[in-house]
A and B are shown apart, each in its own frame.
Chain A
Amino acid sequence: MLVQEIKTIEDKEYQYTYSDAGFFIRQIETGHLYNDAMDLIPCPYSYEETDEPIDPAPEPPENENE
């Protein structure tokens, strides 16, 4: 489920968006994927939860050196 909270950081308020199931979230207007998102308020973006789990241990890129 997509969760949105208001967070205060250094006296500024931000909109914090994340998936409570550990999935990437998609910024609908741009299509970009995020683990979580912190935006200025008012937030110009909307988000949706994807079905792609966040990989906690990404593999390094394949060496293309041949």
Chain B
Amino acid sequence: MSSTIKQAIEALKSRVADAYTAIVAKGGTLPATQDSANLPTAIASIPSGSVEPDDNDVRFWNYQGTLLYAYSKEEVLANDFSMPPYNVQHDNLSFNGWCYTLEELKAYVREYGMCDVGAYMYTTDGSLTVIVNVTEEVGRTIKPGFLYNGYTPSEKSNYVIDWGDGTIEAYADDVSHTYATDNIFTIKVKQVEAQDVFAVCMGGRVGYAWQKYNYAFSISVLKIYLPRNTFLYHTSRAMIFQDGRCRLINLHEIANPCEAVTSIIYSKVRIAIGLETLNNGFFDCPNQVRACCKSTSSWWRGAGIYDRYIGSISDGGSVGALNSASFLRVIVTSNYCGGQLTNCAALYWVEHRGDIVNIPYAFASYELVYISFLNCTSVPTLANSTAFSKPVSGTYGDKGNTLKIIVPKDLYTQWIEATNWATYASYIYYIDNNGDYSQVTP
């Protein structure tokens, strides 16, 4: 029974926070204390006739995918524009700024005419917070492998673990805990002395024998809230997030998140706007990746991630089946090009940071507006004479954008004469000494 009451209280807190988010979106005034008692006053502060923000050029989202503000391109580029406020108090989460600075936002809007901006939310107390539902049926023993052994900056001796039932102890390898009762518990892992990076390893499983790096968070985990600068690491082909019950809030980096997560119910997983890097990940787990981008279904629309770049793709990694209905921007750090980006229907912006030597696949199915090869030391072989669609038409073309292929200045002349590149000469640019795109022969 106590479990039910606790669940109800937790749910109520979330609903109150959601209500205050809606009030912000409608232009209302927030009270200093955002509890249920102050809700009526806050609702009354919503201006008469207020409506949801229009779907405009520049949109600001909270981490749950609620549209908070929307502006036209002209409004954002005006001299007096400033980033809008957002101070909703979510349970154990604090607003830590927008994912673009004002300068970045203006530069982006100037270039692309649109932008989605998301809110960074981190745990208020700097902890890794994991909310678990412990039942005798599944098992009351938890053996989490929260910390990544191989990440030097975060020494395990610097961490303590609060099991949420009054037990607090120093973190150690193979640390485990057995709960006395069924209940929802909030586990917090904290750093004794704050370090730059919070290293999290997805190991351990509730109710089952210790399986390092396997079954990291199974059905018993309800939510995971992450602190700033979390480094979330996983090394094996194990089943993290096995049943899709987890909510990952504001990840900054997922390294090797493993591939066998196809069982995820993606409508229940949120990887919000903080995600800037996907290292070598999500191969063979299209549900997970779609969760970042899919704007249909009950997914939370990615809260800006579908406009931010999805991440960097390193050697051996791939991002496939990113059938986003919105914009998709990808940085490819690999020296391999092309195959990682299969079925990315909304791909429009690709930055290659590797030394690409061969492009075996075509980009013709994408409405690219930007693709760069600035770290190439030679002109890559382009296997297809029709590798790119030109001129760009449709959504992005309507906004006045056309394809730009950005190449190193010292390769420009050679590039525009190369096999299969020559017909794209009018779309190939280098960056001149002023930082502008140029087609003047260097």
A: residues with CB less than 8 A from B are 9-10, 12, 14, 16, 27, 30, 32-40, 45, 58-66
Contact = CB atoms under 8 A, between A and B. Distances in A.
Given A58-B360, A60-B342, A66 B384 contact: no
Contact of B318 (A16, A30, A61, A66): A61
Contacts, number: 81
A54 B336 CA distance: 19
A16 B420 CA distance: 9
Given A37-B385, A63-B318, 18 more contacts: A9-B423, A33-B383, A34-B383, A34-B384, A34-B385, A38-B385, A38-B420, A60-B283, A60-B342, A61-B316, A61-B317, A61-B336, A61-B339, A63-B284, A64-B315, A65-B317, A66-B236, A66-B237
Contacts of A34: 381-385, 419-420
Nearest to B384: A35
B422 A39 contact: yes
Nearest to A37: B419
Contacts of B280: 63-65
A38 B426 CA distance: 15
B350 to A, nearest CB: 16
B377 to A, nearest CB: 15
Contacts of A36: 384-385, 420
- Ranked nearest first, the 4 interchain pairs of A and B with the lowest CB-CB distance are A64-B316, A63-B283, A38-B385, A60-B318
Interface SS, B side: loop
A63 B315 CA distance: 9
Contacts of B358: 32
B393 interface: no
A45 B419 contact: yes
A45 B281 CA distance: 40
A33 B358 CA distance: 10
B316 A10 contact: no
A63 B358 CA distance: 19
Contacts of A33: 381, 383
Contacts of B339: 58-61
B258 interface: yes
> Which of B237, B382, B419 has most chain A Cβ within 10 Å?
B419
Contact of A58 (B315, B317, B361): B361
Contacts of B256: 65
Contacts of B259: 63, 65
17 contacts: A33-B383, A34-B382, A34-B383, A34-B385, A35-B385, A39-B422, A58-B339, A60-B318, A60-B342, A63-B259, A63-B284, A64-B280, A64-B315, A65-B258, A65-B283, A65-B316, A65-B317
B417 A10 contact: no
A16 B422 CA distance: 12
Nearest to A41: B422
A35 B419 CA distance: 12
